[in-house]
Every structure is written in structure tokens, then in C-alpha cells.
Structure 1
Amino acid sequence: MATKEPPFTVQFSERDFEIRDYPAQAIAEVLVSGDRKEASSKGFRLLAGYIFGANTRKQSIAMTVPATQQAATNEKIAMTAPVIQSGGDGNWVIRFIMPEGATLDSLPQPNDPKVRLRMLAPQRVAVARFSGFAREEAVASNTAALQSFLVAHDLQAIGAPVLAQYNPPWTLWFLRRNEVMIPVAR
């Protein structure tokens, strides 16, 4: 059974790169610390708890992909948020994107105050797709390639790189789908 992805429109595609437009999305997110792998595991457990019923309605919420990870900035995270992961100085934001059509009003509140719900505004992102394990070297080289793609196509980055992972941990390395995403100006 396939896991749903959020809807998007491809505006441009070239080799392993795409420019995509995403509509507004409800997300659940947590701020965790550690190295990328440790933070991903911690954040995933917290967010999985929320979608598997650790919420005010004891309601299961459909799993969607990708789960994202991003280095945290000094910016505070809103109390309610989906899961995506980003990090800096050992702090990472991990996010799960809620099912299409979910709103802050329709989602149950998390039992754990570390899990925050919020809405992401519609956005355009540049994407570099790669397979295998999302090790630091692979993430760094694909981020650098995506940044070169932005320069070559006169695109302006307006946010930090985000690692998006689409597969459960038991997926064989050569079947894994990963992406580095960078928000860009329209």
C-alpha cells in the first residue's frame, strides 16, 4: 500500500532536479538535538506517537511522506506544527506533513507539548533527488549540486536546505528516495 505524498506541481525538470510549487500544508514538528541521525530518530518517535494516537482524540492520522529534517535556526517554532527536520548547532526541526486537506482546526492536539502543529504557506522549492542512505556526504554533495543548479538557473534561495526522506528504515539502500529541497523566490 503506497504512502501518500502532498500534492505539488512541477514547474521545471532537468535530470535529478525539479522546481515544484506546493500549496499550503498542515504539519506537525518537533525541535530535537543531537547529530542528524540521532535527531531524526528522536523526532520521528515523537511525531509517530502523535499520528498513532498520542493526541487529545486518541485518533490515528494517516502517515504521509516525506518526513523532513532541517537544521534549526534561532527562529522559534510555533506551538502547533507538522513534522519536518532541520538543524544547526546540533538542533534539528523534524516535520511530518499532515494528510491533504488537514487544517489546524481539524487535527487533534498533541498530548506531548514538544509536538507542535502549524500551517506552512504555499511555497516554491528547488529539489535534488537521490537514492541510497542519506549520509552526511550524500546530503552535502546533493545540497552543493542543488545550489549550483540554482546559480545556473538564476534562482534565488529564500530558505535553508531541507532533507526529505520517503522510506521506512527497513527499505533497501538502493530503493530509497531522498531529496534536498531549498525554498526559492517565485
Structure 2
Amino acid sequence: MSIEEPKFALALKDGAFEIRDYAACIVAEVTVTGDQNEASSTGFRLLAGYIFGGNATRQKIAMTAPVTKTASSEKIAMTAPVTLIAGVSDWLVRFTMPARYTLADLPVPNNKAVRIIAVPAARFAALRFSGLAGEAKVAAETERLMAFVASRNLVAMGPCSIARYNPPWTPWFLRRNEVMLPVAVSA
């Protein structure tokens, strides 16, 4: 069985780096506090509760990939363009809803922390990497992505997100992860 992923058009590919144009979509999201691992776990549980029937109609909604999380209060180090620093912060965790749904079709979440929103089409610079997505690895991959973005004279339009595509039982060496940065569309 294939897991649905958001649709995009590939604008550029350079090794592991890509520039992608994503279509508009609908997401379920929560804001949680904690370090990267705590936020991931808490956010995932809240959103999984919604899609597994924790909603007004007890409707089950198919899981999609990836699960993304973005630091709401991302910190910027003086020595690097963007580095996530270990500590406690707010994180925005999102599940993309299957493409067949509209805002009107999706049931109301039982948990008030879960929000259903429409996300407009956007361009992202993305860097794919495998293995575990711990804080140090994500910080290193984010720096690589930022260097790529700078080398292409792209303009960042928001903070970096971490995208995880695999369930937790996937062996670490088979995991697919990405760091993604919204960038301006060139004129």
C-alpha cells in the first residue's frame, strides 16, 4: 500500500538538493512545546488522534507522508545562517490531509489544539538525507541547505521544516528525511 505525499513539480535538481513547487493543500496542525524529540512525539500523538477517529464524526482519515515540524521560535546563531539550538521552544507539527478532501469535507477535531487550515501553493528548497533526524543531524543538514540556498541567490520566505517520511519501526538506515525551506519564486 502506497502512502500519499503532497504533489509538487520539480523546478531544479542538483544532487540531494531540490527546488520544488508544491500545490495548495490542507493540513491538520498543532503547536507543541518541548525539545525536538518531545515536540515530535507529542504533536504526532495529537494529530494521529484526529485522523484515527478523534473527530466529530469519528471518521478515520488516511495517513500521509511526510510529518513535518517547524520551530515556531527558531533561534539564529551569530556564527551560522540558521542553526536550531537545543532547548525548549514551540514547534508547529503538521499532517497533510489526503488530496481528495476540502476544508468543508474534513470533520471537526475533538481536540481544540488541532487546527485544520488551507496552505497556499509554495516553492521550497529541500535537502534529502537518511538516518536518524536528531537535533545535531538536522542542524548540520539545515546548514547545508542554507549554503545551497545562498549559492543559488534564493530568498528564504520562512523558517526551515523537518520532514519525516517513515514510521518509527523503519530501520534507521532506511529512513527518508528532509529539511525544507520556503523560498521566493524568481521573477
d(CA) in 1 for partners of 2:140, 2:15 = 16
Contact kept in structure 1, 2:35 and 2:88, CA below 8 Å? no
Task: Extract structure 1 runs of 4+ deviating beyond 3 A.
Answer: none
1:34 aligned residue: 34
* TM-score computed with the length of structure 2 as normaliser: 0.90
1:44-63 alignment runs, 5 A limit:
44-63=44-63
Any idea what SS the aligned residue of 2:118 has?
strand
Listed one character per residue, the Cα deviations across residues 83-129 of structure 1 (whole Å, up to 9, x for unaligned) are: xxxxx951111000000132211100100000000011100000000
d(CA) in 1 for partners of 2:61, 2:22 = 21
Structure 2, unaligned runs of 5 or more = 75-86
Contact kept in structure 1, 2:47 and 2:114, CA below 8 Å? yes
Counterpart AA for 1:40: S
How much is the aligned-residue C-alpha RMSD, in angstroms?
1.5
Any idea what SS the aligned residue of 1:151 has?
helix
* TM-score computed with the length of structure 1 as normaliser: 0.90
1:1-186 alignment runs, 5 A limit:
1-73=1-73, 89-186=88-185
Counterpart AA for 1:71: A
Counterpart AA for 1:91: D
Deviation at 1:2, TM superposition (A): 2.0
d(CA) in 1 for partners of 2:171, 2:103 = 35
Percent identical among aligned pairs is: 52
Contact kept in structure 1, 2:68 and 2:163, CA below 8 Å? yes
